[in-house]
Amino acid sequence: MYPIQPKDKSVITVYGVYPKTPSLDALGLSGKQHGNRNAVDIAPRVGCEELIFSVVAPFDGVIIERGQAPERGIYLTLLYVDGKMKALFYHLDRAYAMMGQHIKKGQIIGIMGNTGKSTRKHTHFEIRDGLPIKEILT
């Protein structure tokens, strides 16, 4: 499930999707590789910066990290029900989900922001120990 709503008002830039495959082009993903991270930055389209973008859970899980840090800004980590795969959300304006809270797919967990080491409003969305991010974004 696409983690940002409204989807049609946002744009994806690849932060470090692996591996580089032609299927990424088919999704309209563009950007530079930065290491071997399974991640994207999702930002407002030009002219849509003033909209409020909800961050939604791409799968059922539980919140295992919630905080604020100099680099990440306001962040959340969602652990999938398999106990392995994690979804990380950085640079939030607000985090609605609480530590230990059980979350359903599609539930609003935060608001896109510009906190931490960030140059513009966006959400850094990363998957660890799980599916390639392109499968979650489709």
Could you give the percent of the chain with pLDDT greater than 70?
83
What pLDDT band is residue 2 in, cutting at 50, 70 and 90? confident
**Distance, C-alpha 94 to centroid of its chain:** 14
Q: Give per-residue pLDDT as tens, 41-74.
A: 899 988 899 999 999 999 999 999 999 999 999 9
Q: Which residue has the higher pLDDT, 33 or 38?
A: 38
Q: Is the pLDDT of residue 22 over 60?
A: no
Q: Which CATH class is domain 4-137?
A: mainly beta
> Quick one: tokens of 93?
């304006």
Cα gap 113→136, rounded to integer Å: 21
Q: Domain residues of the chain, as ranges?
A: 4-137
From first CA to last CA, the distance across the chain in angstroms is 7
